[in-house]
A and B are shown apart, each in its own frame.
Chain A
Amino acid sequence: FHTLFVLQVENVKLLDRYTNKKAANGTLYLTATHLIYVEASAEARKETWILHHHIATVEKLPLATAGYPLLIHCKNFHVAHFVIGQERDCHEVYTCLLKLSQPVKPEELYAFSYNPKMSKENREIGWKLIDLKVDYQRMGIPNDYWEITDVNKDYEVCNTYPPEIVVPRAANKAVVIGSSRFRSRGRIPVLSYLYKENNAAICRCSQPLAGFSARCLEDEQMLQAIREANPGSPFMYVVDTRPKLNAMANRAAGKGYENEDNYDNIRFKFIGIENIHVMRSSLQKLLEVCEMKSPSMSDFLTGLENSGWLRHIKAVMDAGVFLAKAVKDEKASVLVHCSDGWDRTAQVCSLASLLLDPFYRTFKGFMVLIEKEWIAMGHKFSHRCGHLCGDPKEVSPVFTQFVDCVWQLMQQFPCTFEFNERFLLEIHDHVYSCQFGNFLGTCHKEREDLKIFEKTHSLWPFLLQKKQELRNPLYRGFTAYKELQPNTLPFSFQFWCGMYNRFDKGMHPKQCVLDHLLSCVSQKVKLEDSASELENKLPFLDGPLPSDACPLPKVGPAASKTPMLNTPQGYEGDPPPALSNGAAGGDGDVLSDVDQRNKENLSPPQDLHGDTIEVLDSEAKEGKPRHH
């Protein structure tokens, strides 16, 4: 690993605001990528690792009795309070961290030096794990109304959109180009999600350059094409997610919003989600509440309310619910935009998809959703997360809010997500960590220019490796729930301790229910294995002569339904790790297998035995208990 220390400082204390215990002395190391603190005096060696990219601010506090305090706030809400013995050391650490945590050039980001010792082929496969075309196919696209076009292949229409976009078939190239001239930064209306059951679509774009009276025939035709792609509805919604005042202010700058008179059969709506600056300061206020030591009810509740954070979360959720209802209940298509269509629009569209489609609530689906609505469609991760030294006013917790909304849904519907809270936290961490290439830059073009597909790794395969600890043991499977109708009354929104107070050990149960449940699930699998093993033995006992000549007995009916872990003989005294995956053995050629499956994504599975989907899923699908 990185054995090269940039700096090593002895006699450093790490304070814990939750205990009054005297902090022990330790050593602080700075490497090229991490700050590492090792508490030496404790009986057990305790290490605290902080990635430089996670550091949001470093502050020198006034001299305390124990030494020179250095307060570090991290983007993943870790707050570390060090006390350093010598002033010189303190200053040196301070200046070093400032430099290390604020890289100037993209090449300095961790992802370009991160080397997990993976073969080139594997890395490439990792990048191919998510294929958005497959998701569009899942929605039935291309079809009579929608097509995937490469009109943007040279980024001529829009340089922040991906090369391939989905537009109505009825919108020809002239319409697309014309519309792009009338939309801020050329971000024309494109399809985000098609609700197959009634053809209603969610589309997204940026604000029109309408000013006070400007019109654009092609843009009007574009909207008409979208509306007519859903023959079931005589109208479509156009949703501006900004507060009305903000949208009106934009008119003076030649931007603004659609005039209902100019477009046929549109219903125009404002949904007041505040802008990135309001959100940034709201989070700041929330974090101040989080940093209170042992807050009283009054401190907490008033602080929470004054921060407005949950109110903003609610606004995003309300918008998502509106979209989902429009599509499902009113069968109407919706076009969503904000200003540039990459912040609020991304939040709202991805949330609506999550509400409508259970696929997005699976591991794979959630990755697809983030790749599609956030990464491909050009959310400015680099600016919003402050990856590089830049304008602090561009930083805003837009993605954090989306993740918070998803968590709120998980709270309301504990059995509907395949993954658990830790999965969200992992993703949130890595959006800031710059360890993987996925979230670098601002759009597909920039990522190509940075050569991230050649030089860095994708996050998703790494998360899938950890799937066991990230799964939701309560998940009822894919078909148990379809659309979600979350409650958006104010009391339904909870403060997410696990996110904002995640590193304050004093605030979390030590032995959480999640672990307990995960162990329950593995117990079940173990029992099922033993049962099938016993059943396999039965034929021998019943038969005339038990013979060792046949190592693979006929598999009984129960066994065929249970996940086959290894060869049944293997786990007499020593069961394999529960819920381990089917390919635990030495499949020599993983790669070709993966490739093959990738291509076959739409055909039904042929090999039932290799089907290692967990029992929970299949049971929920059958809708009845299987043990009778």
Chain B
Amino acid sequence: FSLQEIHIKEPIEKQVNPHLLPGELLLCEANTVYKYIQEDGSNRGTYGKLVCTNFKIAFLDDESASDDNEPQLKNKIVGENDITLQCVDQIYGVYDEKKKLLTGQLRKYPEKLIIYCKDLRVFHFCLRYTKEEEVKRIVSGIVHHSQTPKLLKRLFLFSYASAAPSNTDGRNQTMMFDTLEDWRDELERTKGNVKYKAVTINEGYRVSEKLPLYFVVPICVSEENILKYEGRGIPIWCWSCHNGAALLKMSAFPKEQDDSTSQTQKAFLDGIYKTISKAPYELLKTDDLSSSLPSLQDIQTAYTRFKQLFLIDNSSDFWTTDVKWFSLLESTNWLEIIRRVLKKAIEVAECLERQHTNVLLIEESATDLCCVISTLVQVMMDSYSRTKSGFQSLIQEEWAIGGHGFFDHCSHLHKSDKEEAPVFLLLLNCVWQLVQQYPPAFEFTETYLTVLSDSLYVPIFSTFFFNSQHQKDTNTSGESFKTQSGPFRFLTVWDWSVQFDPKAQAFLNNPFYAEKPKPDKSQRKTTRFKHQRQLSLPLTTTKSSTKRGFFREETDHFIKNILGKRIGKLINSSDEPPNSFREFYDSWHSKPVDYHGLLLPRIDGPEIKVWAQRYLRWIPEAQLHGGGTIATAAKILDLMEEVQSLQVKMDEEHCQAVSGDVHSVPLLRNSARLSSLFPFALLQRQSVKPALPTSTWKDLEVEDDLVKRDDEFVDLTSDMP
């Protein structure tokens, strides 16, 4: 095609300057860049300036868009046409209509630049009208700054932290788990403090740099043992069930060639198992996740294939998937991985809840699949984890402090792709399945999960930045930074006001949440940890007492059994789950759901769905006018608002001077016409006519009456015998 053939408005020379964050530096820029509107290959678009800073790549529209076109969920940090350097997935250049991946040094400069983002946006920039000098500068600048490895301290997180005013309080209800007190509170909340204790032994990272400063172990485990193998082979507490059974995780020993070493390690493990299998501890089941779940490599491969289905250059690509859609989806294996992970979590929940046994998850690092399973189990079993602050505390505990390798897995340094693995995304995908199956059980929305996944690539937060608490601590001190006197003050992603104004934050709260009766607000500080535990499910009569009696006598035999079968074979890991699992699953599903009790996802094939909001939100072709989940949400919001205002009115009538505590959301009026892509994009502005032309209102009124009358009629007939 030729651009000359179609009508393009003459570029207007106008001075637009990028909005820079504290610490953000403009590195290079190019004028008269033409940005295509993605959808239809019609070459429509706008002229503007393309800039690259040490934080983002940004396109500045010459005809600066009027405010009413802005998306509702405006991110204060990352604009509609901003791509943070961390968010860049791949950059392609188009040379003579051929796409080529751009990396490293460039010899020739492309006429078109395509940027694929990790949040699944796709940008097309035409550089044909840009001065050659500027093309060179901007293309090599973008490729260099987004693709080549850098020194850690040169990353934007540090520039921002040293330049930004450290005024954000960040205090919210999220527990950060960076203090001993937080761990003790969590132990107390789950009543785990009888058998487990928080230890300070890792202060100064004496035990291991991979472990957090504070963590929780069974009371009977000695300091000496913890120190022996840098914390390996030590069961670390994740959570206690209402019946006292606990979820534990353990970092396994790497495979040893040396026989005597592995003998010693085995003996060490025997000792540990023996200690924690004695009363008062419950029967122990172990599960080696590295053999019972897909490898990180499998997960990465599956996700790479899966996201390719949505990273499309134009809509015609999308239509070609037509007949093959389901087999394409199937061949990625991504949904099957989600299903297997959910199934594993149900198995663990069954052991804890019904069999009343402790479950020990084993993985080499105990920071990847252990985190996924442990988080999911808690979301399913502990309704506190389904509140916003509870979920955030959980992510903080298991992932941020727990030592998930965000830095490597998100490839923040672009060092190598090998480390990259979407483990956290996998978790969010699994949680989303639960959210869409049981909307009233969650205080947050799918939009919350979506923006949380986006936040992985906003490098002003430390939450999802480092590999471990140690890495964060050592880099916070700011020693090597001469310009900075004190330590860096990093932001936490949980302070949502950094990214969203209050109006936008309303999208994160689920209006449909079946809230529990709240304790008095004045006691908030104390009630924070006193979140009530639920007896999740009075299942079949518990066999625990007999089991434990049996177990005490047979301890030695049992331990032999574990070791004989090698660790991890106790939970059946074959695809056909043991009968007890299916029975548990069926029996739960045959009873009414208690949204504040145990929650088990449905995992039969048809129940696992594609997270449409995250994966389709930038694809104009996928939108529905006046449809989609947002239509439901908007309608429910209206309804709730009305109920609330009625309640207020009632209270007034009763002359009770209760001031209206209506935390209603003043949005979505006339929301019938919203696009299903709302609140992320308003892409429909180019492509359609208004859904309801005003000229037709009059006619409708007449028909309207008709419908009313039909209803009248209906009402009468319903009295017929």
Q: Which residues of A contact B (CB under 8 A)?
A: 18-21, 116-119, 122, 125-126, 129, 138, 196-197, 292, 294-302, 304-305, 310-311, 358-359, 362-365, 412-416, 461, 464-465, 467, 473-474, 476, 478-487, 489-492, 495, 497, 501, 505-507, 509-511, 513, 516-517, 520-521, 523-524, 527-528, 530-531, 534-535, 538, 581-584, 587, 590, 593-594, 597-598, 600-602, 604-605, 610-614, 616-617, 619-621, 623-625, 627
Residue in A118, A511, A610 whose beta carbon sits within 8 Å of that of B712 in the complex: A610
- Is B719 touching A581 in the complex (CB atoms < 8 A)? yes
- Is B626 touching A416 in the complex (CB atoms < 8 A)? yes
Asked if B223 is at the interface of the complex by the 8 Å CB criterion, the answer is: no
- Is A487 touching B623 in the complex (CB atoms < 8 A)? yes
- Is B714 touching A363 in the complex (CB atoms < 8 A)? yes
For window 220-235 of B, CB contacts with A under 8 Å fall at none
Number of interface residues of B (CB under 8 A): 98
A116 to B700, CA, bound (A): 38
Per-position contact with A for B688-721: 1 when CB-CB < 8 Å, else 0?
A: 1001100011011101111111111111111111
Which residue on chain B has the smallest CB distance to residue A460?
A: B717
Per-position contact with A for B251-288: 1 when CB-CB < 8 Å, else 0?
A: 00000000000000000000000000000000000000
What residues of chain A lie closer than 8 Å to B628, measured between beta carbons? 412, 414
Q: What are the nearest 10 A-B pairs in CB distance? A: A300-B605, A490-B325, A305-B326, A581-B715, A301-B330, A295-B605, A297-B336, A413-B627, A480-B672, A527-B646
A612 to B719, CA, bound (A): 14
A299 to B514, CA, bound (A): 35
- Is B622 touching A487 in the complex (CB atoms < 8 A)? yes
- Is B711 touching A612 in the complex (CB atoms < 8 A)? yes
Q: Nearest Cβ distance between residue B644 and chain A, in whole angstroms?
A: 10
Residue in B330, B703, B711, B713 whose beta carbon sits within 8 Å of that of A297 in the complex: B330
A533 to B589, CA, bound (A): 42
- Is A415 touching B712 in the complex (CB atoms < 8 A)? no
What residues of chain B lie closer than 8 Å to A196, measured between beta carbons? 699
- Is A490 touching B321 in the complex (CB atoms < 8 A)? yes
Residue in A297, A364, A507, A530 whose beta carbon sits within 8 Å of that of B650 in the complex: A530
A20-B582 contact, Cβ under 8 Å, with A481-B691, A613-B711: yes
A601 to B627, CA, bound (A): 31
Residue in B323, B514, B616, B643 whose beta carbon sits within 8 Å of that of A311 in the complex: B323
Q: Nearest Cβ distance between residue A106 and chain B, in whole angstroms?
A: 26
Q: Nearest Cβ distance between residue A301 and chain B, in whole angstroms?
A: 4
What residues of chain A lie closer than 8 Å to B715, measured between beta carbons? 581-583, 612
Query: Which of B36-44, B380-388, B491-499, B632-640 is the interface stretch?
Result: B632-640
Asked if B327 is at the interface of the complex by the 8 Å CB criterion, the answer is: yes
What residues of chain B lie closer than 8 Å to A415, measured between beta carbons? 626, 631-632, 634-635, 672
A300 to B610, CA, bound (A): 14
What residues of chain A lie closer than 8 Å to B676, measured between beta carbons? 412
Q: Nearest Cβ distance between residue A79 and chain B, in whole angstroms?
A: 15
What residues of chain B lie closer than 8 Å to A617, measured between beta carbons? 707-708, 711
Per-position contact with A for B344-375: 1 when CB-CB < 8 Å, else 0?
A: 00000000000000000000000000000000
Asked if B155 is at the interface of the complex by the 8 Å CB criterion, the answer is: no
Chain B: interface secondary structure?
Answer: helix
- Is B635 touching A476 in the complex (CB atoms < 8 A)? yes
Q: Nearest Cβ distance between residue B711 and chain A, in whole angstroms?
A: 5
Asked if B440 is at the interface of the complex by the 8 Å CB criterion, the answer is: yes
A129-B627 contact, Cβ under 8 Å, with A296-B336, A297-B335, A602-B706: no
Interface centre among B592, B696, B704 (most CB of A within 10 A): B704
Interface centre among B440, B604, B692 (most CB of A within 10 A): B604
Q: Nearest Cβ distance between residue A125 and chain B, in whole angstroms?
A: 8
Asked if B649 is at the interface of the complex by the 8 Å CB criterion, the answer is: yes
Asked if B608 is at the interface of the complex by the 8 Å CB criterion, the answer is: yes
Residue in B591, B604, B623, B646 whose beta carbon sits within 8 Å of that of A528 in the complex: B646
A507 to B585, CA, bound (A): 11
Residue in A467, A481, A509 whose beta carbon sits within 8 Å of that of B593 in the complex: A509
What residues of chain A lie closer than 8 Å to B339, measured between beta carbons? 296-297
- Is A495 touching B699 in the complex (CB atoms < 8 A)? no
A483-B691 contact, Cβ under 8 Å, with A298-B330, A524-B643, A582-B715: yes
A507-B327 contact, Cβ under 8 Å, with A520-B643, A593-B716: no
- Is A19 touching B583 in the complex (CB atoms < 8 A)? yes
Q: Nearest Cβ distance between residue B616 and chain A, in whole angstroms?
A: 8
Q: A524-B646, A590-B719 are in contact. List 6 more A-B contacts (CB 8 A).
A: A18-B586, A125-B717, A296-B605, A415-B632, A516-B514, A581-B719
For window 583-606 of B, CB contacts with A under 8 Å fall at 583, 586-587, 589-593, 602, 604-606
For window 288-338 of B, CB contacts with A under 8 Å fall at 318-319, 321-327, 329-330, 333, 335-336
Asked if B621 is at the interface of the complex by the 8 Å CB criterion, the answer is: yes
Q: Nearest Cβ distance between residue A374 and chain B, in whole angstroms?
A: 20
- Is A301 touching B326 in the complex (CB atoms < 8 A)? yes
A523 to B710, CA, bound (A): 25
A295 to B607, CA, bound (A): 10
Asked if B647 is at the interface of the complex by the 8 Å CB criterion, the answer is: yes
Asked if B624 is at the interface of the complex by the 8 Å CB criterion, the answer is: yes
- Is B326 touching A304 in the complex (CB atoms < 8 A)? yes
A495 to B704, CA, bound (A): 34
What residues of chain A lie closer than 8 Å to B623, measured between beta carbons? 487
What residues of chain B lie closer than 8 Å to A612, measured between beta carbons? 711-712, 715
What residues of chain A lie closer than 8 Å to B707, measured between beta carbons? 359, 362, 364-365, 478, 613, 617
Asked if B501 is at the interface of the complex by the 8 Å CB criterion, the answer is: no
Q: Nearest Cβ distance between residue B584 and chain A, in whole angstroms?
A: 11
- Is A482 touching B691 in the complex (CB atoms < 8 A)? yes
12 contacts between A and B (CB under 8 A): A18-B586, A297-B605, A364-B713, A414-B632, A415-B634, A474-B635, A490-B322, A501-B606, A506-B586, A581-B719, A602-B706, A623-B670
A480 to B716, CA, bound (A): 26
Interface centre among A301, A473, A487, A612 (most CB of B within 10 A): A301
- Is A534 touching B650 in the complex (CB atoms < 8 A)? yes
Q: Nearest Cβ distance between residue A590 and chain B, in whole angstroms?
A: 6
A615 to B438, CA, bound (A): 27
What residues of chain A lie closer than 8 Å to B326, measured between beta carbons? 301-302, 304-305, 310, 490
Residue in A482, A511, A616 whose beta carbon sits within 8 Å of that of B692 in the complex: A482
Q: Nearest Cβ distance between residue B27 and chain A, in whole angstroms?
A: 39
What residues of chain A lie closer than 8 Å to B625, measured between beta carbons? 485
Q: Nearest Cβ distance between residue A571 and chain B, in whole angstroms?
A: 14
- Is B440 touching A516 in the complex (CB atoms < 8 A)? yes
- Is A301 touching B583 in the complex (CB atoms < 8 A)? no
A248 to B416, CA, bound (A): 59
Q: Nearest Cβ distance between residue A306 and chain B, in whole angstroms?
A: 8
- Is A482 touching B606 in the complex (CB atoms < 8 A)? no
A294 to B603, CA, bound (A): 8
Asked if B645 is at the interface of the complex by the 8 Å CB criterion, the answer is: yes
Q: Nearest Cβ distance between residue A597 and chain B, in whole angstroms?
A: 5
Residue in B335, B626, B710 whose beta carbon sits within 8 Å of that of A362 in the complex: B710
